[in-house]
Amino acid sequence: MNQNIQKEILQISKGLISFRATELNFSEKEACLGYIERYFKKISKGIYIKKIASRKYTGILISNSRNYSPDILLNGHIDVVGGEAEQFKPKIIKNKLYGRGSIDMKGAVAVFMVLMKKIIQEKMDKKVMLMLVGDEEIPNVATTDYLINNLNLRPKFTIVGEETDFDIVTSQKGNLNIKVEAKGRSVHSAFPEKGVNALEKCIKFYEGINNLKSFKEKTDYANTIALTYLRGGEAINSIPNSAQMGINIRLISKKTLNEINNYINKYKNRVKTGFNIKTYYSGSMMEDVTKQEQIKQLKKAITEVVRLKPKQTKTSTSSDARYFSSKKMPVVVFGPRGAKYHEEGEYVEISSLMIYYRILYQLIQQSN
Ligand SMILES: [Zn+2]
């Protein structure tokens, strides 16, 4: 029995990996969603499928009830970051399945699919919904958020299946990008006082942000700031008349966001010309809104399936979990074991997929 399930999970994982569902590859994303839809269309009873494939939003919802307040919602994405053609040919070596998106997160999606089918076939009395979207990796588009709002979804508990190595993630940092374009006035570098140095303007701005109170705290889970690019200047003996700078900030609280915004607004007032600051993709943070009772239930399911001491943690990366937490809907990020996501050599541990399946099955069965 378990062996058949494992075989099916592996087969689907491989099938999903072979789609080049990268950022702008809409046709591959649609093909991937079609593959998922066909899998579920073989089930004739007790299933509700809703597919969205517009230019803007791509995703599919599978559920075993018409209810939009499921007991459990499983959330995953089928899009991946780019990679070489070779990475879209899944490969198994011992306990590892290699391929683009194997851990991020087609392995988990395969588990969700097989599990969902099982739940429907067994006529389990829990209301479960599977949400798979095609744009988690793309800034500024969010089918997850769109579906929550558009259908007024109110899941009692959501699991986002990104890799966590079976840790239970209840908080994630927000992601704020700042792009700066500075104009100066070029003069001979022997007379810097006669010109305006665009690079120095950028550096001053960066140092100001870097010195904010928010970035002084050095704990494990703290705000971070990174200067990611700084470009400008033409010649060694000339004051640069233009410069560009990029800053990436990971936030742990709204307080930090306010502090940064205040700083930027004041700066804009002070430096009125030749300085353009754009902030964007203020990806909200995932705040801890989950009830202790739900964490307990998940921990219980974990320990019943595998000899693991489940840990509750916080991470620096972001995921679609933030769209649930920002609406105060209980959510955790919880997924199987693997490594090298967004890198070469990405893999998922095959045995962890089966463990993942069993934990989720247990959790859903015991949920109330
Ligand atoms: Zn992911």
> Position 218: which residue type?
K
Buried b / exposed e over 319-354, threshold 16 CB at 10 Å, is: bbbbbbbbeebbbbbbbbbbeebeeeebbbbbebbb
Distance from the alpha carbon of residue 317 to the mean position of ligand 1, in angstroms: 10
Nearest residue to 361 via CA among 111, 3, 151, 52: 111
Predicted local distance difference test score (pLDDT) of residue 206? 97
What is the rounded average pLDDT of the residues 244-260?
93
Distance from the alpha carbon of residue 145 to the mean position of ligand 1, in angstroms: 15
Residues at Cβ < 5 Å from ligand 1 ion? 104-105, 162
What is the rounded average pLDDT of the residues 21-38?
93
Instruction: Tell me which DSSP letter residue 267 carries.
Output: H
CB 183 within 8 A of CB 133: no
Predicted local distance difference test score (pLDDT) of residue 56? 85
User: Cα separations (Å) of 110 from 36, 124, 258?
Assistant: 9, 19, 40
Alpha-carbon distance of 14 to 102, in angstroms, equals 8
- Percentage of the chain beyond pLDDT 90 is 84
- 175-208 confidence digits (pLDDT tens): 999 999 999 999 999 999 999 999 999 999 999 9
Q: List Cβ neighbours of 109 (8 Å cut-off, separation of 6 or more).
A: 12, 13, 16, 76, 77, 78, 132, 161
Distance from the alpha carbon of residue 340 to the mean position of ligand 1, in angstroms: 12
User: Is the model's pLDDT at 1 over the cut of 70?
Assistant: no
Distance from the alpha carbon of residue 204 to the mean position of ligand 1, in angstroms: 35
Nearest residue to 145 via CA among 321, 343, 340: 321
Within a 10 A sphere around the Cβ of 45, how many other Cβ atoms? Answer: 7
Predicted local distance difference test score (pLDDT) of residue 103? 96
User: Cα separations (Å) of 311 from 153, 300, 330?
Assistant: 28, 12, 17
3-state secondary structure at position 83: coil
Any idea what the Cα angle at residue 231 is, between residues 229 and 237, rounded to 5°?
Answer: 145
- Is the pTM higher than 0.85? The answer reads yes
Predicted local distance difference test score (pLDDT) of residue 281? 67
Instruction: At 56, list the tokens.
Output: 């803007």
What is the rounded average pLDDT of the residues 239-261?
94
Predicted local distance difference test score (pLDDT) of residue 218? 83
- Percentage of the chain beyond pLDDT 70 is 99
Distance from the alpha carbon of residue 186 to the mean position of ligand 1, in angstroms: 45
Predicted local distance difference test score (pLDDT) of residue 191? 97
Distance from the alpha carbon of residue 241 to the mean position of ligand 1, in angstroms: 40
Distance from the alpha carbon of residue 341 to the mean position of ligand 1, in angstroms: 8
- 256-306 confidence digits (pLDDT tens): 999 999 999 999 888 878 899 998 866 789 999 999 999 999 999 999 999
Distance from the alpha carbon of residue 173 to the mean position of ligand 1, in angstroms: 15
Distance from the alpha carbon of residue 281 to the mean position of ligand 1, in angstroms: 17
* DSSP calls for 322-342: HHHHTTT--EEE----EE-TT
* DSSP calls for 98-163: ESTTIIIIIHHHHHHHHHHHHHHHTT-SS-EEEEEES-TTSTT--HHHHHHHHTT---SSEEE---
What element of type H or E holds 232?
A: strand 224-232
